[in-house]
Amino acid sequence: IVFVLVALCFVLYLKVQSDGEDINLPGLRPAAAAFKSVRKHARERYPKDTENEIQAPATHSPYEVSIQLDLDKQVPGLGDEGVSVKLKGAAKARGDKIYKKIALNEELSEQLSYNRTVGDHRNPLCTKETYDDPATLPSASVVIIFFNEPYSVLVRTVHSTLNTCHPKALKEIILVDDGSDNAELGGKLDHYVRTRLPGGKVTILRLKNRLGLIRARLAGARIATGDVLIFLDAHCEANVGWCEPLLQRIKDSRTSVLVPIIDVIDASDFQYSTNGYKSFQVGGFQWNGHFDWVNMPDREKQRQSRECNQPREICPAYSPTMAGGLFAMDRRYFWEVGSYDEQMDGWGGENLEMSFRIWQCGGTIETIPCSRVGHIFRDFHPYKFPNDRDTHGINTARMALVWMDEYINVFFLNRPDLKFHPDIGDVTHRIMLRKKLRCKSFDWYLKHIYPEKFVPNKHVRAWGKVKAMHSNLCLDDLLQNNEKPFNLGMYPCGKTMQKSQLFSLTNSQVLRNELSCATVQNSDSPPYRVVMVPCLDNDDYNEQWKYENNQLMHGNTGMCLDFDGLKSMDDAQVADCDPTSESQRWTFSKN
């Protein structure tokens, strides 16, 4: 017995010492080898991070799930229900590294199931809605274009579509490869689609060269055979039941172009988040040609109540523009109304072009609240633009030349660099299209579809640079972001009109730029700073300034804009009004 015990102790001693090294005892070899192989495998997948191991010896999972799901009810996979997942240790380091490169945590994406759920974030009223039998709804061709998207993200988009769009309504999914050179997206994707997604629903169309997202979408649309085209970006995951409300609405109203509510999938932890189901924003635009989100105006809520017989909260909501990546449209109508401007290159601008065109040529753009799709928003584009050009700007200038009529001047005021840009090219064929379709004017669009949109030179008493009469100083917003209040600046006037110095004094006596309105900071002693705050939609409620004898007097404080004693050019200020003061005299000048 003593001999056996001593022998056992010796063996244990060897095992501890060896730490997985080969042990030359014949009887132990297989077990040790197996032990080693498991370790090696684990190390390959999640290389050990020593610091992490010391800190958290109890868990061997490289993950931390931020929300605890009810384990009695289901066994959740990582990130199921759209919860956030944080990698730890070496996996985190790898995730952070790739994130810096492509603005997306591909390391994490590879650990999440292609079939993960994202939860049902719809308004509860949606579950009470009934739609026609999916077999009698118009059928859908989902077109997903991609250029070097992470493989797992793209495949998850396809799975999500197959899992959430009723199979009887989903005719096909067309993947358009816009000339990707990422090897994984070649044979591996072909093989996956052939072996794992059989049934012929998923097709891959390979473009020989990169054509840019506009022409890639056109290529997909050309081979589509469903009644309805649904476009998705290649990094989306949808909520349950998102297809039927879109298809039903198009069945009922053929020229309605539809967007789902677009939710946010976080690019680093893949959390699916929403603004709740009670409210959502619609699409707007800025005069520099960029898309933005705006609150739904009361005017639209009233229209919904008048014209729609569903509960108002889930009624189609008219949207002045669309973001561009996720939308559904009757396939024949897509072609009738001019598809896209095929000469738009790369990325950008096509969404406002389509938005203005749809409205001006008799269609509508509507957000369908019972249809929700998540989209991964990236901090930057992980790809280069063709010839490093500003394709967004160039495409937008093409759009403006065709659709904006005299308002193109406002666009060029904001983008003087594009006025004579050599790459804009010819737009005659699009102007002919506009004539053929007998489309309405941009002025009509602004009046009827987007009356909330501020026009710097309409309904104003004065506009241009706010220039001191006895100095070369001008009000200047330094192109600051309007989302929170900021101090208005006072800088040397530019030789020509520049966006940062463009202000208007409206008919309701508001001193403002496109999005921000001038107020005066509360303070007991000087300096009394001029602060720009986000404007309210109804201009009558914004703070007023009186403009008399070249003085600009702030209504609430009774003080006047003054450049005397300026401490910093970043702090425009007001002072007690003095009719004899030279530093309180201002003109609005257009050059």
Positions in the binding site for Mn ion (CB under 5 A): 233
Between 231 and 445, name the residue whose CB sits nearer to Mn ion: 231
C-alpha–C-alpha distance, residues 50 and 53, integer Å: 5
CA distances from 562 to 469, 470, 528, 568 (A): 11, 11, 10, 13
Tally helices (H) and strands (E) across the chain. 16, 27
Measure CA 234 to chain center.
13
Pick from Mn ion, ligand LR7, none: which does 178 bind, CB < 5 to 8 A by kind?
ligand LR7
Q: Report the nearest approach of ligand LR7 to the CB of residue 351 (Å).
A: 5
- Nearer residue to ligand LR7 within complex by CB, 131 or 411: 411
**Which residue stretches of 437-489 are H helix?**
442-448
Query: What does the alpha-carbon distance between residue 333 and residue 321 come to, in Å, rounded to a whole number?
Result: 18
327 binds, among ligand LR7, Mn ion, none (CB under 5 to 8 A by kind): none
Between 265 and 490, CB nearer to Mn ion:
265
Name the token pair of 518.
Answer: 């001038």
Nearer to ligand LR7, 355 or 583 (CB): 355
Name which of Mn ion, ligand LR7, none residue 147 binds, using a CB cut-off of 5 to 8 Å depending on partner kind: ligand LR7
Residue number, 379 or 406, with CB nearest to Mn ion: 379
Residue 172 pairs in a beta bridge with 141
* 94 versus 210: smaller Cβ distance to Mn ion: 210
CA-wise closest residue to 487 among 545, 548, 456, 530? 530
What does 212 interact with, of ligand LR7, Mn ion, none (CB < 5 to 8 A by kind)?
ligand LR7
Q: Please, what is the minimum distance in Å from the beta carbon of residue 504 to ligand LR7?
A: 27
151-164 helix and 187-196 helix, angle to the nearest 10 degrees = 20
Position with the least CB separation from Mn ion:
233
Distance of CA 507 to CAs 334, 458, 510, 589, Å? 41, 9, 7, 17
If the CB atoms of residues 233 and 390 are measured against Mn ion, the closer one turns out to be 233
Q: Cβ(294)–Cβ(282) under 8 Å?
A: yes
Binding site residues, ligand LR7, CB under 6 A: 145-147, 149, 178, 210, 212-213, 216, 233-234, 262, 323-326, 346-348, 350-351, 375, 381, 383
Output the smallest distance, CB 142 to ligand LR7, in A: 12
Q: How far is the CB of 313 from ligand LR7 (least distance, A)?
A: 22
Contact 436, 548 (CB under 8 A): no
Whether the Cβ atoms of residue 474 and residue 493 lie closer than 8 Å to each other:
yes
For residue 422, what are the contacts with CB-CB under 8 A and spacing of at least 6? none
In angstroms, give the least distance from the CB of 351 to Mn ion: 11
Smallest distance from the beta carbon of 283 to ligand LR7, in angstroms? Answer: 8
Minimum distance of Mn ion from residue 430's CB (angstroms): 25
> What residue 149 binds from Mn ion, ligand LR7, none (CB within 5 to 8 A, per partner kind)?
ligand LR7
